Amino acid sequence: MSTPKGSDSDRIDGGRLVLLTGATGYVGGRLLTKLEQRGVRLRCLARNPANLTARAAPTTEVVQGDLLDSESLDDALRGVHAAYYLVHSMGSDGDFAEQDKAAAENFARTAKKVGVDRIIYLGGLGDDSEELSPHLRSRHEVGRQLFESGATVVELRASIVIGSGSLSFELVRALVERLPVMICPRWVGVLTQPIAVEDLLEYLLAAVDLPADDSRVLEIGGPDQVSYGQIMEEYARQRGLRRWLISVPVLTPRLSSLWLGLVTPVYARVGRILIDSVQNPTVIQDPTGRKAFSIQPRGLTEAIKRALVAEDNEFAETRWSDALSASRGSRTWGGIRFKNRIVDSRTVETHAHPSAAFEPIKTIGGRRGWYYANSLWKLRAWIDLLVGGVGIRRGRRDPQDLRVGDVLDWWRVEEYDPAGRLRLLAEMKVPGRAWLEFEVTPSQHGSTIRQTAIFDPVGIAGLAYWYALYPLHALIFSGMLKRIVSEAEATKRR
């Protein structure tokens, strides 16, 4: 890993405590893994610790706290040497700017009170002398609030992040993959200086050890200043797609955001905020940040190449919408969510212990069946056979035991953790790629079961397939989850 300039005596030792906020988000989730691999003594702040405990290492302390509740922050920040501030409210309900300001004020006040030495904050590029969008203006305001804490603040300002699962990359991916011809508004020509997620993580890690007695703002980014249109063209080139971009003089932010909500993974609400932001150039103007670190960030071509490798071969390690779902706690919801894939996710609470709740999940399929509408599952399997698919004939290797790579009827086990996680990859004939995930986490009164169906459609046929079958899928997935809970609670009583 590239290191900051300075002597070894400047480096943080393993005994000093680091706090990470935003660990359920896109960047924070990846930084969590990096910090754990580095052997840092780590504490994570989470509104709902159950959403984070399962993915954090046993050595990582996860504490409950809400940035909008200052009293909940005292214990979380006490004894902390350096704190990462990686939270924002862009996807929340209400006035995100006011929420961000209040959260930063609470964090800064508490950090000053308990004596935090350093805060590392990830903000956004943008010229303060220009009329910034509400999102970028809020990002800069958060930095100012943190500077008032009295701690040394290292504010890293970056433009869009290129990486599998990032909001910006998934927007580009969806537009280019789905639209052979794109009607492009003015913002497609605005300059940006994208940074690969791997390089962003390098900067964040190095910022802990950066020799600095005074607070400072450092602008970081890759070496290329390009327009959003050029990013889309490079993506299309690497995917071997022929795409036409047709510029039009006007397209209002509201219309653009609604359009993005329909054809990309972006919620219309988030899309409006995003479109407002991309109307501002986000390029490095002060080279101090580049000089402060011994990091050589990769260019756009290599950043997209690496993102595509991860996108094509595995799920993104984290996704931009992870923090949105985490902020909603254990709320049960169904239906379609737009991410980098189409997702139907449902959660339900049960009084059963997590091991009992996971028991019917790990024994699913084969002779036991799929708990609900087995006749419909069998009909789907026969249709699959007729079109040359695997059907239902394969069953499962063992009625109790599972391991990664096992066949499970028309699925294959892609990930399995006996502690409470199962992910299945569909091997039936579908116009795209499909997964079914189950995750069990402890809750206050027992456990939470999350069931998630993911579909990565290919072209119009894939979208038509999902939407045509969605009412049936909703019935089956809802019924399956209810029966799993019934089985789990029956196991609890036995």
CATH number of the domain that residue 408 is part of:
3.30.530.20
- Same domain membership, residue 376 and residue 282: no
Indicate whether 105 belongs to any domain.
yes
Last residue of a domain, one of 286, 313, 340: 313
- Closest by CA to 417, choosing from 445, 437, 397, 433, is 437
Report yes or no: 449 and 485 within 8 Å, Cβ to Cβ: yes
| Burial class of residue 226 in the structure, from the number of CB atoms within 10 Å of its CB (0-12 exposed, 13-18 middle, 19+ buried) | middle
Tens-digit pLDDT string for the chain (494 aa): 344 443 333 344 557 899 999 987 889 989 999 999 999 999 999 887 866 776 788 899 999 998 988 888 999 999 999 999 998 765 444 577 888 889 999 999 999 999 999 999 999 998 887 788 777 888 899 999 999 888 889 999 999 999 987 878 877 887 788 778 877 777 788 899 999 999 999 999 999 988 877 889 999 999 999 998 899 999 999 988 888 888 776 655 556 655 665 555 554 445 555 666 677 888 999 999 888 999 999 999 999 999 888 665 444 456 554 554 444 333 233 334 334 468 888 899 999 999 999 999 999 988 888 999 888 888 888 887 777 666 766 778 788 888 877 878 888 888 888 989 999 988 888 888 889 999 999 988 899 999 998 888 877 888 888 888 888 888 999 999 999 999 998 876 55
Indicate whether 324 belongs to any domain.
no
Range of the domain at 221: 8-313
pTM exceeds 0.85: no
pLDDT the model gives residue 315 = 44
- Same domain membership, residue 308 and residue 354: no
pLDDT the model gives residue 392 = 67
Indicate whether 1 belongs to any domain.
no
Give residue-wise pLDDT tens across range 371-389.
998 888 888 888 877 776 6
Indicate whether 214 belongs to any domain.
yes
Q: CA-CA distances (angstroms) from residue 209 to 54, 85, 327, 454, 493?
A: 29, 16, 30, 40, 53
Q: Between β-strands 244-247 and 446-457, what pairing exists: parallel, antiparallel or unpaired?
A: unpaired
Last residue of a domain, one of 313, 347, 366: 313
- Closest by CA to 449, choosing from 358, 318, 371, 367, is 358
pLDDT the model gives residue 330 = 31
Tally of structural domains, the chain: 2
- Same domain membership, residue 348 and residue 250: no
- Same domain membership, residue 115 and residue 25: yes
Q: How far separated are the first and last CA of the chain, in Å rounded?
A: 52
Q: What pairs with residue 433 in β-bridges?
A: 456
- Same domain membership, residue 393 and residue 303: no
Location of structure tokens 């509400």: 134
- Same domain membership, residue 148 and residue 62: yes
